[in-house]
Amino acid sequence: MVTTSVDDDCGRWSNDQQKLCFQCDSCKAGVLADIQRVWSKPVICITAGILSHAIALPCLVKVLKFRKK
């Protein structure tokens, strides 16, 4: 019993040394996963910083206005 699978990426493959991209989805998915892995912590830190500033700034303004009176 021989089973064959249809894989579009295999049909696009070429041994041409000058051709670097075959428009397949395998390397694109790998790059996207790497970007998500690398940028997940900085995005969380930046978001937390923005939220803390958004909460602290109105409180600080209120305290400074209260001190002027």
- 11-38 confidence digits (pLDDT tens): 666 667 776 666 676 777 778 888 888 9
Whether pTM exceeds 0.75: no
Q: Is residue 48 part of a domain?
A: yes
Cβ atoms of 15 and 28 within 8 Å: the answer is no
Is residue 43 very low, low, confident or very high in pLDDT (cuts 50, 70, 90)? very high
Q: Is residue 40 part of a domain?
A: yes
Which sign, positive or negative, has the C-alpha torsion 43, 48, 49, 54?
Answer: positive
Cβ atoms of 52 and 64 within 8 Å: the answer is no
Q: Which residue has tokens 């041409």? A: 16
Q: Specify the length of the chain in residues.
A: 69
Q: Is residue 4 part of a domain?
A: no
Q: Is residue 12 part of a domain?
A: no
Number of domains in the chain: 1
State which residues form the domain around 38. 26-69
Q: Is residue 10 part of a domain?
A: no
Return the closest-CA partner of residue 35 out of 46, 43, 25, 24: 43
Q: Is residue 19 part of a domain?
A: no
Q: Is residue 7 part of a domain?
A: no
